[in-house]
Chains A and B, each alone.
Chain A
Amino acid sequence: MRAVNASHNDVDPSRHAVSTRNACKLCAPLGACLVFRGIENCIPLIHGSQGCGTYIRRYVISHFREPIDIASSNFSESTAIFGGGDNLKTALDNVTRQYRPEAIGIATTCLSETIGDDVRLYLNEYRRERAGAGLPLIFHASTPSFRGTHMEGFHEAVRGAVEALAEGGPGDGAINLLPGLVSPEDLRHLKEVLADFGTAFTLLPDYSETLDGETWSNYQDLPPGGTPIRSIRGMGRALATIQFGAGLTASRTGATLLEDKFGVRALTRGLPLGIRATDRFFDALSQLSGAAVPPKYRKERGRLIDAYIDGHKYVFGKRAVVHGEADFVAALAAFLDEIGMVPALCATGASTGKLRETILSAAGRGNHAVQVLEDTDFVTMLEACRDIKPDIVIGSSKGYGLAKKLGVPLVRVGFPIHDRIGGQRLLHVCYRGTQQLFDRIVNALIEAGQEGSAVGYSYI
């Protein structure tokens, strides 16, 4: 573990453990599987041991409470010795036969990457051997879990799909939006926003239906929804690509690929959380679409400011621990700064080297005692909190133990939320999402005060 740009506020790096203790990150194939699940009629296939797929399924199901079928090439001892080509091909045959998918997204693992499996080569062979068989589209992401976190896997899979499918051609004026890891509710809202700007768009991935669908009358092999393949093909003809956050976690993304290969302009914006960040997103949409911000969002913005004012005294100066994906943490920190709270500890399991700088540059006053921990874990966070004395923890449900030990409330946001239902329906983005988050934070602080008081006022 190491503290980034350690200042007098930071935890002494020499105190940091060699081991990771209660990790604040997941492995890369998980992120890739979420992306592949957000492409229409696409099934994820993990090239590695059986356990990877099963563990990731369990982890994802416990958050979204939806089926997620992930196939596995299921390595055996001999596969690890002789290479995974045959297993991968058999797996592709069997998945195609059972699911009849339009596409298969392959995520590699530490195992297949360590033995040096060349998936690209295997796929070329496979396409040659099965020529004329009406194969599904197949693309892959290199996602060994010893490199990066689930977010690197996520961005790699988006890039893999775009690389395999996007085509050039005359511009169609559409906007590509790469939202990163957000909730299905966020995706639904982003689609609403884009539609309200009157612009054609492609949202990749879009698991708003596949990972938060309706109840069924018949079992669906592949649940309906997801970014249509034909839309991904069209991404090379778009006017521009907006990507949220990704600048922190990945430098080679779907957006940079589209820019390099097809000249589609890449715009990186922070996750639209808070007024300033949402303004920047809406400004970009206005400029690209040529449409003014629709009145309904002006009103949402106005109501949000009104709410900020109503609630400002409850949050002012309150100290928060924020944990999760680097981009998400940066967005939350900027939002907290905007409402007068102190993002006293900003922690991520990722190693970006840029989180502190990003947070400080977004901070209005810039002189907060902000401690930033990268490549960190929940035990290290708890150790750091001895000096910080936070009032609240904001992040995934994996922060529950931390919040409990600190005796402060946890406001559950992001992924995963394993100890409540409805994580997939939490709205975080734009004015409306910020409104919900603001209300939840204010109320958590009020409730903590109420619970800790012997008086127990019922009127505040």
Chain B
Amino acid sequence: MIEILDGRKRQVLEKGKERRDLACEKASLAGSVSQRACVFCGSRVVLYPIADALHLVHGPVGCAVYTWDIRGSLSSGPELHRLSFTTDLREEEVIYGGEKKLHSALTELIQAHRPKAAFVYATCIVGLIGDDVGAVCARVQAEQGIPVIPVHSEGFRGTKKDGYTAACTALFRLVGKDDASLVPQPAINILGDFNLAGETWIIKEYYRRMGVHVVSCITGDGRVEEIGRSHRAGLNVVQCSGSMTHLARMMEETYGIPFRRVSYFGIEDTAEALYTVARHFDDPEVLERTGELVRSEVERIYPEVERYRKALDGKRAAIYVGGSFKAFSLVKALRHLGISTAVVGSQTGNREDYAYLKEICDEGTIIVDDTNPLELSAFMMEKQVDLLIGGVKERPIAYKMGVAFCDHNHERKTALAGFEGMLNFCREVYSSIMSPVWKFSPAYEKRITLGKVGYESRECIAQ
């Protein structure tokens, strides 16, 4: 067992062993290899999928180049979001200021690409060198006639969550710009879905079948003009609540639009999300169509899910994801597959999130906030898990230890949301856990000799 750093001990607990709450919402300890990124990352991931906006990263080259075409967010039209633009500040601008370069860069890019809006991300050193990003944005907005919005995302000014807030504040400046267009009712906005592998399209199709109009998906296949009329919706449906609740709150305060937190991962949560929306509008026809949709979708996928469950029953998983709302859904979705969650954690969960997580997990589950590779690998080893769900940074930890892996992060190219997403999820988990390659892994073999896992030649399900 590895030593957990003193400053982090209260951010780890095992359900059933300790009665305290999990400590969270703290800055990462210096020297801990946190899996978290920074404020800039939080802003960039949220705004990234707005495909007809220009995204200009103001700072030295790193922040822009590491986020070039990084998300699997699809667009049905423009693909401006897939390009990486930066002012690429050099030493002389650090000394003399970068405002002039920012102005020229913004002007030339807006003239070249004719975006509907521009977001300017301030990175670490921008404030330190005295650049007034807000003033440059205001000037270019006046000159070019499109919204030019500063995003205050200096990396050190908090955590990724503060980056979400900065992104929401920036987004809110676009909300209500179009007060003329009317929208059919009942109408909602989808918040916090990023259209990874077309997931927003899956969800939108459900709402279409229910008879609910979607005004704007804000960030999933996002468009500036849709955001402009998003204040016309009757309800904000918030997934990935960690990132988008701030926007939902601002829209509630200013426009009186209520919001509901939902998740589209797993059968139960997807069904519950759709019912939540249907119940909100209290329209018998919508309710009936929703019931019919859920029934037919569940009927369609259930036999296949059941076959996966038979193969995977009794396995153990570790989950480490960015937002804790996703972790809730994953615990439930895995349970559908007969897989218990032995380790679960997130980068940005809050007190309420962890209390709920503790409630839904089994006794003995390790719950962890802002973990690092050494802890995570030790917990996985201690609990002898068969599967890790995480992102690219967690993947090699699993693979080196002979543990199967499912990518549930924003780089992924497989749709995991909605009912068909559940099938993709089952397939992905199954194809990793049941692969015969593990038989060659010494770490896997060791688990077998410990009697913790057995390689079963179960029915092979055609993928």
Contact = CB atoms under 8 A, between A and B. Distances in A.
Contact of A18 (B28, B108, B440): B108
A58 B395 CA distance: 10
Given A27-B60, A111-B125, A221-B374, A90 B31 contact: yes
Contacts of A144: 60, 91, 94
Tell me which of A54, A66, A75 has the highest count of chain B C-beta atoms within 10 A of its own C-beta: A54
B392 A58 contact: yes
B227 interface: no
A111 B124 contact: yes
A232 B372 CA distance: 30
B29 A94 contact: yes
B397 A219 contact: yes
Contacts of A92: 31
A119 B5 CA distance: 24
A70 B33 CA distance: 6
Contact of A67 (B37, B128, B158, B400): B400
Contacts of B377: 219
B295 interface: no
A74 interface: yes
Task: Classify chain A's interface size.
Answer: 35 or more
A147 B91 CA distance: 6
B61 A93 contact: no
A76 B27 contact: yes
A19 B56 contact: yes
B390 to A, nearest CB: 12
Contact of B157 (A77, A110, A349): A77
Contacts of A76: 27, 156, 158
A53 interface: yes
B87 interface: yes
A27 B31 contact: no
A348 to B, nearest CB: 13
Nearest to B125: A114
A57 interface: yes
Nearest to B89: A146
A62 to B, nearest CB: 6
Interface stretch (A43-51, A314-322, A403-411): A43-51
Of A59, A91, A145, A218, chain B has the most CB atoms within 10 Å of the CB of A145
B400 A216 contact: yes
Q: Pick the most buried of A48, A95, A215: most chain B CB atoms within 10 A of its CB.
A: A215
A51 B37 contact: yes
A400 to B, nearest CB: 10
B60 A57 contact: no
A92 B30 CA distance: 8
A91 B31 contact: yes
Nearest to A217: B442
Contacts of B63: 51, 55
A71 interface: yes
Contacts of B446: 217
Interface in A58-99: 58-59, 61-62, 65-67, 69-77, 79-80, 87-88, 90-95, 97-99
Interface in A232-289: none
A392 B105 CA distance: 31
Nearest to B445: A217
A17 interface: yes
Contact of A71 (B33, B66, B84): B33
A74 B34 contact: yes
Contacts of B61: 20, 23, 25-27, 145, 149, 349
A56 interface: yes
B91 A45 contact: no
A55 B62 contact: yes
Given A20-B86, A55-B37, A215-B441, A27 B65 contact: yes
A109 interface: yes
Given A19-B109, A29-B62, A49 B158 contact: no
Interface in B137-164: 155-159
Interface string B39-82: 11100000000000000100111111111110000000000000
B129 interface: yes
A146 B38 contact: no
A49 B87 contact: no
Most chain B CB atoms below 10 A, which of A53, A75, A94, A110: A110
B392 A61 contact: yes
A218 B373 CA distance: 13
Contacts of A303: none
A17 B392 CA distance: 33
Interface string A205-233: 00000000001111111000000000000
A46 to B, nearest CB: 10
Interface in B203-222: none
Given A20-B88, A54-B41, A61-B395, A98 B2 contact: yes
A19 B60 contact: no
B84 A22 contact: yes
A432 to B, nearest CB: 27
Interface string B4-35: 01010000000000000000000111111111
Contact of A55 (B41, B104, B109): B41
A45 to B, nearest CB: 7
Interface in A137-192: 144-147, 149
B31 A215 contact: no
B268 interface: no
Interface string B112-125: 10000000000011
A103 interface: no
Contact of B155 (A52, A57, A59, A97): A52
Interface string A192-213: 0000000000000000000000
Nearest to B162: A77
B16 to A, nearest CB: 25
Contacts of A61: 392-393, 395-396
A98 B374 contact: yes
A72 B34 CA distance: 8
Contact of A26 (B40, B62, B373): B62
Contacts of A75: 124, 155-156
Interface string A88-127: 1011111101110000000001110011000000000000
Contacts of B65: 23, 25-27
B430 to A, nearest CB: 21
B125 to A, nearest CB: 4
Contacts of A51: 37-41, 63, 155
A88 B30 CA distance: 7
B85 A111 contact: no
Nearest to A59: B66
A74 B443 contact: no
A115 B374 CA distance: 31
Contacts of B34: 50, 54, 72, 74
A18 B442 contact: no
Interface in B427-462: 440-443, 445-446
Contacts of B108: 17-19
Given A49-B155, A94-B5, A217-B446, A27 B392 contact: no
Contact of A110 (B59, B83, B378): B59
A97 B5 contact: yes
Nearest to B347: A54
Contacts of A19: 56, 85-88, 105, 108-109
Contacts of B87: 18-20
29 contacts: A19-B86, A19-B108, A21-B85, A22-B84, A23-B65, A45-B31, A49-B39, A54-B36, A54-B41, A57-B393, A61-B392, A61-B393, A61-B396, A62-B392, A75-B156, A76-B27, A79-B156, A80-B156, A90-B29, A90-B30, A91-B30, A98-B2, A98-B372, A110-B62, A111-B128, A111-B155, A218-B381, A219-B381, A221-B374
| 3 closest cross-chain pairs (CB), A and B | A51-B38, A94-B31, A27-B62
Given A19-B109, A94-B5, A114-B94, 9 more contacts: A49-B39, A70-B33, A76-B27, A97-B3, A146-B90, A219-B377, A219-B381, A219-B397, A221-B2
